[in-house]
């Protein structure tokens, strides 16, 4: 019976009229791209004040649309004329199979626009129709507005009314593409794909950058990383990602040869930031995202994180900084990267047996003096590969 999906958004409604219109237009484009990706048939996606409507009878449409960033919730609905009579008749039909003998029900009305009746009139009219219909069938039912067994929602707008029984939670956030682009330093581990997803949820298009530590890492780690990016791409139809693979192994060899080996992880992260900065400038992006979670590994202590960025002048974002591992794992399972990230891959062979965990904040800059940083960065960028991992 459903022929429309009601789409609700949250933060967009707080924007100025011009920004709101632009964000809504982006959201509509993203909805269409998600429907196309998932092969959901639809005839139209249209905007009205405070709502977006998808004209589709596909039973999966509401759940698919709920996975678009910026959407708070969706509902598969039946479209009827904006009258009390049409709404009441439809509510009664819906209730026939929905409300069982001995159950209670409630009508949840909502109205916007100019009508010659109030929201309470919708509730009374539709409630009476449901009660009369089910009573005529011999069902013993009751009205319970506090804690009903079943709920029927009626959203009355200016020209149409929508009757529905289900609200599907959306992922929330802001429409992807409304907050510019950022580089994400990504690996095939659990954390960095989740960090990328969290920033995507806030409207950021991501540019994945993978520092290939070969010969200290093997191809299994690279493949795992690529598959994580493919999983993230499913959340971003219409926004094709470019995957940068940048060689980092020669730099690590130089660090192990010329620097204090216990500082290897700090120096590695500093170089990753530099490489990310080069990609950031090339892509006209505005920041670098990491999967750092405070205290989780040696390179993520407060001391080391200070040393890693000391003297570097570009914006770095750590969306996971206050989350613990269990919370990050739960998110990874939700977004579809967890099973990929736990596949076996060799650990980085450059990690020292006893890495520094309480570094002086200047130690990275001091170790830099032992290396020809500019030449190493130039050589790494010259060896960069750009991959298109999926068609879009």
Q: How many structural domains comprise the chain?
A: 2
* DSSP conformation class of 14: G
In a domain, 241, yes or no: yes
In a domain, 174, yes or no: no
Q: For residue 77, which of 97, 48, 106, 54 has the smallest C-alpha distance?
A: 54
Q: In which element (H, E) is residue 46 found?
A: strand 44-48
The torsion angles phi and psi of 281, rounded to 5 degrees, stand at -65, -40
Structure tokens at 350: 């450059």
- The CATH number for 112's domain is 3.30.2130.30
Q: Which residue has the tokens 């940048």?
A: 246
pTM for this entry: 0.94
Question: 28, 45 in Cβ contact below 8 A?
Answer: yes
385: three-class secondary structure by DSSP = strand
Q: Which of 169, 193, 224 is the last residue of a domain?
A: 169
Dump pLDDT digits (tens) for 102-157.
Answer: 999 999 999 998 999 999 999 999 999 999 999 999 999 999 999 999 999 999 99
In a domain, 392, yes or no: no
Q: Which of 124, 149, 169 is the last residue of a domain?
A: 169
Please, what is the end-to-end C-alpha distance for the chain in angstroms?
Answer: 32
Dump pLDDT digits (tens) for 186-197.
Answer: 998 999 999 999
The answer on 210 and 311 residing in a single domain is yes
CA gap 290, 316 in Å, rounded:
7
The answer on 238 and 162 residing in a single domain is no
The answer on 188 and 132 residing in a single domain is no
In a domain, 175, yes or no: no
Dump pLDDT digits (tens) for 247-284.
Answer: 999 999 999 999 999 999 999 999 999 999 999 999 99
User: Looking at 273-348, which runs of residues are DSSP E strands?
Assistant: 288-289, 316-317
In a domain, 176, yes or no: no
- The CATH number for 264's domain is 3.40.50.620
The answer on 204 and 161 residing in a single domain is no
254 vs 300: which has the higher pLDDT:
254
In a domain, 12, yes or no: yes
The answer on 188 and 226 residing in a single domain is yes
The answer on 281 and 201 residing in a single domain is yes
The answer on 202 and 139 residing in a single domain is no
The answer on 270 and 242 residing in a single domain is yes
Domain encompassing residue 52: 4-169
Q: What is the pLDDT of residue 61?
A: 98
* DSSP conformation class of 242: P
User: Looking at 98-159, which runs of residues are DSSP E strands?
Assistant: 104-111, 142-143, 150-156
Q: Which residue has the tokens 């994180």?
A: 305
Residue 158 preceded by cis peptide, ω within 30: no
Q: For residue 211, which of 288, 286, 283 has the smallest C-alpha distance?
A: 288
The answer on 118 and 194 residing in a single domain is no
CA gap 71, 84 in Å, rounded:
29
């Amino acid at each position: 019976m459903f022929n429309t999906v009601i789409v609700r958004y949250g933060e967009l409604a707080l924007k100025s009229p011009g920004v709101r219109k632009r964000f809504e237009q982006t959201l509509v484009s993203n909805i269409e791209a998600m429907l196309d990706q998932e092969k959901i048939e639809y005839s139209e996606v249209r905007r009205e004040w405070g709502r977006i409507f998808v004209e589709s009878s596909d039973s999966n449409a509401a759940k698919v649309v709920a996975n678009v960033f910026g959407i708070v919730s969706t509902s598969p609905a039946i479209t009827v004329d904006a009258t009390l009579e049409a709404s009441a008749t439809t509510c009664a039909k819906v209730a026939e199979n929905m409300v069982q003998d001995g159950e209670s029900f409630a009508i949840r009305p909502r109205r916007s626009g100019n009508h010659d009746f109030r929201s309470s009139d919708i509730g009374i009219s539709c409630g009476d129709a449901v009660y009369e219909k089910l009573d005529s069938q011999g069902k013993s039912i009751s009205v319970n507005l506090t804690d009903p067994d079943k709920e029927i929602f009626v959203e009355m707008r200016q020209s149409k009314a929508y009757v529905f029984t289900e609200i599907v939670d959306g992922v929330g956030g802001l429409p992807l593409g409304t907050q510019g682009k950022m580089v994400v330093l990504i690996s095939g581990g659990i954390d960095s794909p989740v960090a990328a997803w969290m920033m995507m949820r806030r409207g950021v298009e991501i540019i994945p950058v993978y520092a290939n530590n070969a010969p200290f890492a093997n191809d299994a780690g690279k493949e795992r990383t690529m598959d994580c990016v493919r999983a993230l791409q499913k959340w971003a139809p219409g926004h094709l990602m470019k995957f940068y693979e940048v060689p980092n192994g020669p730099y690590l060899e130089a660090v192990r040869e010329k620097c204090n080996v216990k500082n290897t992880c700090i120096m590695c992260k500093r170089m990753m930031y530099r490489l990310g900065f080069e990609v950031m400038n090339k892509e006209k992006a505005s920041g670098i995202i990491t999967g750092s979670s405070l205290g989780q590994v040696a390179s993520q202590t407060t001391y080391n994180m200070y040393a890693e960025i000391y003297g570097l002048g570009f914006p770095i974002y750590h969306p996971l900084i206050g989350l613990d591992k269990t919370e990050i794992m739960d998110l990874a399972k939700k977004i579809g990267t967890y099973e990929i990230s736990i596949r076996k891959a060799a650990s980085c062979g450059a990690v020292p047996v006893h890495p520094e965990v309480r570094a002086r904040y200047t130690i990275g800059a001091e170790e830099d003096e032992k290396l020809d940083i500019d030449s190493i960065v130039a050589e790494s960028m010259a060896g960069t590969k750009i991959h298109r991992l999926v068609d879009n």
